Amino acid sequence: MSDKKELDVNAMPPSATELRQEVKKRESEETKKQAKAKSVQEQKIADFAEDFLKNHVGEADILAVRRAVAAAVENGKFEAMVYTFSSDLCSDSGRAINSGDKSWPETLQGKAKEFYDRYQKFGKPQGFRLKAMIISFPNGMPGDVGFFLNWGSDLGS
């Protein structure tokens, strides 16, 4: 059926049963493909969470922040999203960030906490501002958190 052949108008057409079987076969293949893609995505999320919670901010992470800032400056911006992570990796699943609670930094864990500490040590004294925002709401619930670094003046930038 799926082979591309010359059409023989004198040959018997496939039966309804054969056509149903072909459709079911294709549905099964698509279901398997989607399951595999979901499994790969779930593994990526698990790997990120493990790295996020167990490892430290490294040179590659710091360079990524600097590249994001440089790209924003190149585009005439005064702010850049420099890091994202799942709100599930906050101790309160992102509720403090979502509600604008001033104690939101206390809910940070892993690399997010380290990024925040680096901001306090290096960025804030240089005049940068950091804000955290929920940037996605899957099914109406907080999804990903974005860290935004701002270097605009206090007068409207």
Mean pLDDT for back-to-back runs of 10 residues, the chain (157 residues) = 70 90 93 88 76 84 94 96 93 94 95 94 95 94 94 67
Instruction: Scan for tokens 């005064």, then name that residue.
Output: 78
- 89 belongs to a structural domain: yes
Domain of residue 23: give its range: 14-54
- Ranges of beta strands (E only) in the chain are 79-86, 129-134, 144-150
In this prediction the pTM is 0.71
- 37 belongs to a structural domain: yes
- 5 belongs to a structural domain: no
Count of structural domains, the chain: 2
Q: What is the pLDDT of residue 54?
A: 82
- 113 belongs to a structural domain: yes
> What CA dihedral angle connects 45, 132, 61 and 52, to 10 degrees?
-40
State the number of CA atoms in the 13 A half-sphere of 70 facing the CB: 6
* 88 and 99 share one domain: yes
H/E element, 52: helix 16-54
- 1 belongs to a structural domain: no
